[in-house]
Amino acid sequence: MSIAKTLTIAGSDSGGGAGIQADIKTFQELHTFGMSVITALTAQNTLGVHGVFPQSLEAIEAQLDAVLSDIGTDAVKTGMLFSAEIISLVASKLKEYEVKNIVVDPVMIAKGGASLLQEEAVRALIEELLPIATVITPNLPEAAKMLGQKEMETLEEMKQAAIDLHKMGPDYIVLKGGHLLDGPAVDLLYDGEMIYELKTERIKTKHTHGTGCTFAAAIAAELAKGHSIKEATEVAKSFITAAISDSLSIGNGIGPTNHAAYRRSTL
């Protein structure tokens, strides 16, 4: 049988809620064939990140070459890239293999506050990865970091940030508004001309570990299947809303979302 292929280039979460584990679960749930390139191992659970162990450039390059030279991919999602050197390598390989549908989730800080991107890597992300991205999916702190400004507090500030981020090179911006304090959960899709609002009721739960990874992975899966960016983002919004609504209270801290919830909701 023929199946769309999706590749995640990200860190491994030993707790299973975020990173490549969340991505592969999402790819599977949305009926694509998932593959992975591991950039770093993390010792992680619901209480936080207890260690980050970056992989060597040689190991990352070997994984990329192995997957892209043989199987190829219809979409790629990048997550935790950790260092400027890793970002440069990934950007170079994506260009070398002429990869399409590049979804960049600019992972910078874990839910518990641990840094997942070195300071000097932010510039590499902006200069090397954003210009080749099909879409980027920052949350408000990540967007503020890339723009060198204070975090947004209103929807109007979010809209201006989406416009400013688009000038950095990506074809599309999906700016996640979960960090806004009041009102519904609003994400913005900006295509360079129009701003679309994706709005749902805010779900009251602390169990949101892996939401950013899962949302971006869902967009990648839908793009891999040939859907438009608007269609992909709408499915991703529905997918993550279901996953949060049915989130899992496991461990002693911030639990993960439920990747099977969307499939069950559509049966």
- Candidate list 8, 73, 213, 257, residue with the active-site label: 213
Q: Determine whether 113 is an active site residue.
A: no
**Both structure tokens of 266:** 């559509």
8 Å CB contact between 222 and 232: yes
Q: Determine whether 208 is an active site residue.
A: yes
8 Å CB contact between 219 and 103: yes
* Residue 14 CB-half CA count within 13 A: 13
- Candidate list 11, 19, 34, 212, residue with the active-site label: 212
Q: Determine whether 210 is an active site residue.
A: yes
- Candidate list 19, 34, 79, 210, residue with the active-site label: 210
Cα–Cα dist 246/241, whole Å: 9
How would you label 124-136 residue by residue, b for 16+ Cβ within 10 Å and e otherwise?
bbbebbbebbbbb
Q: Determine whether 211 is an active site residue.
A: yes
8 Å CB contact between 236 and 15: no
Q: Please state whether 206 falls in left (phi above 0), alpha (psi between -120 and 50) or beta.
A: alpha
- Candidate list 77, 176, 225, 237, residue with the active-site label: 176
- Candidate list 208, 233, 241, 257, residue with the active-site label: 208
Catalytic residues: 176, 208, 210-213
